Structure 1
Amino acid sequence: MDLKDIDLNLLVVFQQLYMERRVSVVAEKLGLTQPAVSNALSRLRKMMDDELFLRTGRGMEPTPYASQLAEPIAYALATIRETLERRVEFDPAHSTRRFTIAMTDLGVIHLLPRLMSTLALMAPGVTISTVRNTASDLGEDMEAGRVDFAIGLLPQLKSGFFQRRLFKQRYVCMFRSGHALDRKKITVKDFESAQHAVVIAGGTGHAMLDQTIERRGITRKVMLTVPHFVALGHILASTDMIASVPERYARESMQPFGLKYLPHPVPLPEFGVSLFWHAKFNREPGSLWLRKAVLDLFSD
């Protein structure tokens, strides 16, 4: 007998018939018609090459072979049922699991301090590893479980992924305190005349900033381009350049680097920062727990 030829439903009928001994009762308990139960028994007899159950005045009596099969079939079905119903609980207080989160350096600056402070209290043994969310194989890494989550503006993560919005941001203009533009408002003319430091965040949705500015026919004197935000605070603090940055980053950078910011003179759309995870891990207990922790901390 080949396992691929076995219909698991037939074994369920076998077990129920062994316990109840009456086709009508089995049909009622399994939500089947009596002919359907009789048909299942016929298939079982053919598969097992044995009558299995004989009709008597006391009901359907099992044959010796059926009695021999009853215990291992019951055990196998119970094992399958327990396996499918089992949910391995995630105990944050005692877990030593390492989670990998893909995010930009903006995420590292804005999100990680609060997240790590929370984990220190709720899950002291849990560790976090971050990777860049601009990798071309990010989707594959998340599907394979090498990356647990991604946070950011990631329009490329579509089919097969879930997402939850954390918050929305707007762009602002940031510069050092005492800058010539350190006043109440920046005009488009001021913006075009200034020297700019530009962050090229390839692989993220932040490219829409540059595209929108170009579409509006606005020119910038770009003096410096950098691949990330990490050094931007140091650069702006010691030069006369300005930068277009997300407002939450600007708020985090004001005090450490002596910077200020004003509303952007160019009408730019707000953008959403979301939490992404692969559908394969949607109900995985550890993933569920950390997702909830992130949402509780950062969701608007």
Structure 2
Amino acid sequence: MGTFDLNLARVFVLLYETGSVTATAESLHVTQPTVSYSLGKLRRHFDDELFRRTGRGLTATAEARRLYQPLRRALAEIDGAVRQADTFDPAAMSGRFTIALSDLGEATLLPRLLAAARELAPGVSFTVRPFDVEDAEGHLRNGDLDAFVATPVLISHRMVRIPLFQERYVLMVAADHPRIRGGAVTLDDLATEHHATVFGPSGHVAPRAVLAMHGLLERVAVDATRFSMLPYLLEQTDLVAIVPEYVGEVFTASHRVRLVRLPFETEPIEVALYARHESSRSPAQRWLVRFMARVLGEQVSPAQLPPGPPAR
């Protein structure tokens, strides 16, 4: 270790997590040739190629995979020891963060996030990108995103998953729906009605899966790409839609729709925040992740749905 520069460890960890010389250089605020020079020193020190270039960026060798966890843990401990001298003051400093949210997140979570930010960090601003389950990790790894919020469980050694809250599914219908009058529906009711569903890049697939489980996909009258269109559609038609409960609560406050109990229990969905490992975040990004986890993780009271007839 006497001949090993700890700055090389940071370069190594970032190269491993981003798979990109460019993203690593941007994170460290150095030039790409500097990162390439450091990679050369790492290769000589460990007598291994460490990273190979592929069509998807840099791919770690077996030796690099062996080194990653101990080096990342060591950097995390060092960063924790010196963090008091390396902080981001949100009340006094400005910054722009790029986050990704689904259309549901934009409609329900973004207002909460911005309201808290205007009070606690008036100099902070946000760029919001649409969440795409296929691309989100890559954008986070490359530095195009600072964080994203999603319901799909995404597993990757390049990022951390921070659970925010859980919610269940309910049925959303027009406030004056001609047939669904009470506070609950039966399976027979669901089989009689026509449904609106959403199928797109947000990764929110449970409502269609529930309909498929009960053989009701043929009752889908419209399959759209954005959840945010549902309240506009339902308040003007007799269609019904299965939605997350908190989302439904937000929609009932601004649209002529109401929530109804489903005739079966659904697997709770967990909304989570995704970000780089703490050792790979800048001071501003560390603040952002703590801020988003606190504001979006606050307990939300579920709607008190009126009782309905038992399922049959």
TM-score class normalised by the smaller sequence: 0.5 to 0.7
Contact 1:281 1:287 in 2 (8 A): no
TM-score (norm 2): 0.65
The separation in 2 between residues aligned to 1:191 and 1:97, in whole angstroms, is 48
Distance change (3 Å), C-alpha of 1:201 and 1:171? farther
Aligned equivalent of 1:186: 185
Aligned equivalent of 2:131: 133
Distance change (3 Å), C-alpha of 1:165 and 1:8? closer
**Structure 1 residue ranges without an equivalent (≥5):** 1-5, 10-80
For 1:254, give the aligned amino acid: T
Question: Greater Rg, structure 1 or structure 2?
Answer: 1
Contact 2:197 2:222 in 1 (8 A): yes
The separation in 1 between residues aligned to 2:210 and 2:183, in whole angstroms, is 24
**Structure 2 residue ranges without an equivalent (≥5):** 6-77, 300-312
Aligned equivalent of 1:209: 207
Aligned equivalent of 2:51: none
Secondary structure at the aligned position of 2:156 is classed as coil
Aligned equivalent of 1:198: 197
The separation in 2 between residues aligned to 1:218 and 1:195, in whole angstroms, is 9
Secondary structure at the aligned position of 1:293 is classed as helix
Aligned equivalent of 1:37: none
The separation in 2 between residues aligned to 1:218 and 1:128, in whole angstroms, is 40
Secondary structure at the aligned position of 2:253 is classed as helix
Query: For residues 1-300 of structure 1, what are the structure 2 equivalents within 5 Å?
Result: 7=3, 87-134=85-132, 136-179=134-177, 180-204=179-203, 206-279=204-277, 282-299=280-297, 300=299
TM-score (norm 1): 0.68
The separation in 2 between residues aligned to 1:222 and 1:211, in whole angstroms, is 12
Percent identical = 25
Runs (4+) off by over 6 Å: none
1:283 CA drift (Å) = 4.6
1:282 CA drift (Å) = 4.9
1:249 CA drift (Å) = 0.8
Q: Which of 188-197 and 278-287 deviates more?
A: 278-287
Distance change (3 Å), C-alpha of 1:253 and 1:201? same
Q: CA RMSD in A?
A: 2.5
1:251 CA drift (Å) = 0.2
Contact 1:98 1:129 in 2 (8 A): yes
Q: Which of 220-229 and 166-175 deviates more?
A: 220-229
